[in-house]
Chains A and B, each alone.
Chain A
Amino acid sequence: MSREVHNGPTDDNQARGTDTSGDAEGGEDAIALAQLPLDAWHRARGGRMVPFAGYEMPVQYEGIMAEHLWTRDHAGLFDVSHMGQLLFSGEAFDVALETLLPGEITGLGEGRMRYSLLLAENGGIHDDLMLTRLPAANAFEIEGGAIYMVVNGATKWDDLGVLREFLPDEVVINHLDEQALLALQGPQAVTALERVVPGVSALTFMTAAAFEWQGNPLWISRSGYTGEDGFEISLPGDAAEAFADALTAQPEVKPIGLGARDSLRLEAGLPLYGHDLDLETTPVAADLGFALSKRRREQGGFPGHARIMAERESGPIVKRVGLIVDGRQPVREGAMVLGSEGSEVGKVTSGGFAPSVQKPIAMAYVPLALATPGTRITLAQRGKVHSAEVVAMPFVPHRYVRKG
């Protein structure tokens, strides 16, 4: 038995677009891997550790399927401490960030979050990220205003290079590499977290505020990467174990690995950098138009503005769509989309068996003519042809708790 075709976030190099297989057992030359604050905690709970983004991380505990379904029904605790947490402060930090990101930052209210993209000169995507404008009361002891940003783990060092190169020296970048980051996701996340940190239920989707737990400052947002209601909690690394214990002591909460994180985000229709997004994809082709705010579209001043606006006008050549595959066999990243002549016209960028849908699903880039929901599509994988249908995403309805 071999393991040779893979996808999902189990690979140190995938987000750099290198051609390696993300072996769930970490079957690649291990470079020196770093340990995260919860390393021993995961092992003590039976976490199967694999190399990912330069760290050893738990891909699963009891099993991906059970963890996935637990999160949809109850609450799952994810360690996402590998992700980069950055602070931007100093003179006109928000104006400066707008030169690299296409979203509304100067007009972003305190405690409000936005999804955004770090763009390359040609409109390609260096990374996707979340940013928040910090209020005076924040957990990071920073005064005079700042933007808190969370970027992908595998790309954080490259991102820092780009940010440092293009932002003026007056903007201070603080890499919070001592901070842990935990995500508590699922319909019972609010019940469990409110018990541990009273007051969090007042947050609504895409807002954040400072809290405290046993003398430790917490920065908590109501956001996540599963399509469920939930929270992301930034806290000092040396408090992470005790806090994770407090959360998993709640009957609603179980620890969840990276495997289920990937299947949950796929069902939620959320792209994964290094797979569904990279330097070759533009925000328009990736169907992330919502990240381009109206004022910024009109005024420009971000990398690739002209190309992105032209693409919005004429339509992209290919577009990211969701697929439900016929039958039961998963069609995964790397499979080809075939045109009527049998030639390759697009590619599958993420795919797998969807535990909550009980069908194989995928994301793919297909020519605009094939991108309408309901269109039948032919795929080829390892010499075998599969049929699929283009569907609107998400595959599982989002259950975010929005304001009023």
Chain B
Amino acid sequence: MTDPVATPPAPAEAPERRPTDWKGNVMQRRIARRYAAERRFHAMGLGAVLLSVGFLAFLLVTMIGNGASGFRRTEVLVPVDFAHASIRLDPASFRGPGRDAALAAADFEGVLFESAQQKFGGGSFKLLSEGAWLAVRNKVADNPDILKGQAAIWVPASSAIDRAAKSGAADADLDRVRKVTEVRTSFDLSFLTGADSTDPTMVGVWGAFKGSLLTMLVTLALAFPVGVLSALYLEEYAPRNRWTDLIEVSINNLAAVPSIIFGLLGLAVFLNTMNLPRSAPIVGGLTLALMTMPVIVIAGRNAIKAVPPSIRDAALGIGASRVQVVFHHVLPLALPGILTGTIIGMARALGETAPLLMIGMRAFVSAPPGGLTDPATVLPVQIFLWSDEVSKGFVEKTSAAIIVLLVFLMAMNGLAIYLRNRFERRW
């Protein structure tokens, strides 16, 4: 055994080296300094992670803080005297086949205005929401018999009163209303079932959500089969030549092209050349499908690559054709991985805004779309449009819509993680 501190024979002219004094003050200070640097570096790493996570938490807390009240709505109890209203409405006409036409023709707005004037005096219009009469109409549609007499109806309050009631701030109008009638703030189902409106108390996310669903449907129907088929071709059949290299390069590039460029493509090709309808889910779906397809191809290729060659060899060995090998054995085994990639790609498409602005999905759409060619908007675009509104009541509605969107994205990502954990297989 050699002495660990023994030095090799030094050249003659070098000064004599003494063994390092590990216990000496100089060395101890140096070690302490190095350990301090180590701790600092460790703390910086932890700090970076915590800062990033903290930012995410701050974002979520801000959105929930701003948006939680957006799911609630303030309502005012207004006694409506149908029997003595200047516009007489006949209960019989709101029954039977003519019901919808009669409901559309009747002037509920006038009836409500009259009742509100009696109850609150002058300037009652700014106390109630613009769409307050819809509550009266719904009440009559449910039970036309109330037209014979008087009924107390909860109608949505105006945006200013709504905000005052939620924040608990002193407000002259709110106090005035509180003096003469009841005011309540409760969970607002119409935010989840309604469509866009110019009045923040009347808006809902269902219209945009349905637009998102239709758009995603088109995206999935196009991107999934095309993505899976091209992943199969590239991984299982493609010869290594210049053509398949070109295909590979263009798929990898498409995955990194900025999303707004796909919007420009959609505008130039689908709208201006093919004359498809503007603002329609079908065009949005086509555009997003081109964007999602490369994501599915890349995920699909990884999943297919993970299937061991022995499975293919075994199937080929008992006489299956190459198409049978792929469609009966490789594809079913790779499917969980492909599905995980597809869900992640769809989640990305669901949150996409910029390309859809390019193809005109920023129009004001007050009714949920009925089909693939109807004008529609999607949730992220709806959020963008509401964020531009001047009216203060839209702040909480925008945040509430963001909460809805985030809940769906997290559900999709959670499903992807679950699928990965459930079906992941080590060969």
Say whether A and B bind each other: no
